[in-house]
Every structure is written in structure tokens, then in C-alpha cells.
Amino acid sequence: MAVDVGLKVKEFMKVPLVVNWLDVPKALFSEEWRMKEYERVKVQCKDADFLTAISQSTADEVRQWLGEACPEIKVNYVGVDLDVYQAFQPTEEDYVCGVVRGLAKQKNYEEIVQAVQISKTRPKLQLIFGNHSDSQKAKVMSKSLFGLGMSSLEGFGIYVVEYGWFSKAFIARELSVFREIYEDAVEYVDSVDEMAEKIDLFVQNREVRDRKGMELHDLIVRKELTLQAHAKRLAEFLQKTI
């Protein structure tokens, strides 16, 4: 629901307004028209009863953007939709899978392609774009050897959870939000060359990639990174507010 509509509903029905932030402001303000639109959202957010954000990193960015008048922000991690992802069992086929979720500049899809090309093993590569449904994504992820991502800006990086659900190792550029959520369960790299080296390691050593995949899966279970748990936590927030 748009924030302006939410404000009208709040006034008419005398109910709390909660604004849920699903990404960091920097990622949303990539075009001039968006910046103008979100200046209006900035004013409207200050009239919310509280905000939620999908990570502490996102909450910190939103708080800085809104300034002193920022309402309380509650962190509520998201995750996989169990109704979709439990329908697929993990297997292994002869390809690695990169996530670009569209061609936004910060996704750096060309770096994933380059890393695979300069690796010694040069495995087959499949890319997942933003127009894939959850079922389409799950089908491809569940059969891959492991996942790749070189994004330089994320509010959460839910695709890491999606791979981890299938106990697939994931190689990613090191971001503060990844450290916050995924800790050491992700294999971090700082460059295309480093990613190429890790690709070779994971392709050639199943024991290593299986161990990292299980570490990521165990973390996801421990932190309850599912859509169902996210909805439950949100309901608890709302019940304490009403």
C-alpha cells in the first residue's frame, strides 16, 4: 500500500500505520524521478507509528535518511516462502548459478560472468533475473552446484537464503549487511579474480562446498529466515501497538 493511502486509512479508521522498508534508500534512488518520489515518502514516513526494516543495515540507512524525526524502527528479517521452496529437493547438476535480479548497475552481473570465464574449471553458468517466479528460481537453485553474487549494495540479499535453504554454498562480495545476517556462512571475495579462485575450489572440492552449504543452511534454520516467521514477527509487532 502506498504511504499516502496508508495515512488516509490511519486517519479514517484510527489504526496504526506501519511502513515496511524492503531495501536501503540508496538502492531505490537510482533514478531522478525516484528521488523526487521518495522525497514525498520521506515526509510521509515521519507520520507513521513505527517502521520495520528487513535488516539492521537497512534500518540504519533509513534512520540516517529520515533524520531526527524518524519513528521507531523494528528489524524483521525476511526469508524463503516454505510453501514454494519445500516443494523442491536439492540435487546437483553441472552448473553454477549467478543472481543478478535484473540489470541494475549495483548487481554487477558482468563480474559474475567474467569470474566464471577466467576460472580454470569454467563451469556452466545460469543467471537468475528479476522476472523469475519463486518456483522458477527454486528449480534452478536447487539443482546448481553453488551460487554466485557480486552485488555492491543490498538491503538483505534474500537470494542467499534461497540458496542456503537447499544447502548450497554461496560466494559473494563482502557487504556489511551480509556479515550482519549470514556471518561467516558465506564465502566472501573482494574481486573478480578472488571469485574465480573460489569457483575453482568449490567445483573441484565437493567436501568444501558441502560444508559451506550446510553452514549456511544451519544459520537459516537458527535465525528462522522464512516468510512465515517474518509474518509472525510482524503480527507480534502490530499486536503490541494496537
Give SS3 for 79.
coil
For residue 68, the model assigns a pLDDT of 82
* DSSP state at residue 205: -
Cell of 122: 569454467
Query: Which parts of the chain fold into alpha helices (H)?
Result: 3-13, 25-28, 32-45, 56-66, 82-85, 109-118, 134-143, 158-165, 176-182, 192-204, 206-222, 227-241
pLDDT at 12 over 60: yes
Render 118-177 in DSSP notation, one character per residue. Answer: HSSS--EEEEE-TT--HHHHHHHHHHSS-EEE--S--S--HHHHHHHHTT--EEEE--HH
Comparing 18 with 52, the larger pLDDT belongs to 52
pLDDT at 38 over 70: yes
Superfamily of domain 82-222: Glycogen Phosphorylase B; (3.40.50.2000)
For cell 535488516, the residue is 55
Per domain, the residue ranges of the chain are 3-75, 82-222
Closest CA to 131 of 154, 163, 101, 157: 101
pLDDT at 237 over 50: yes
Sequence-distant (6+) residues with CB within 8 A of 122 are 116
Comparing 180 with 129, the larger pLDDT belongs to 180
* Whole-prediction pTM: 0.89
For cell 516467521, the residue is 229
For residue 34, the model assigns a pLDDT of 66
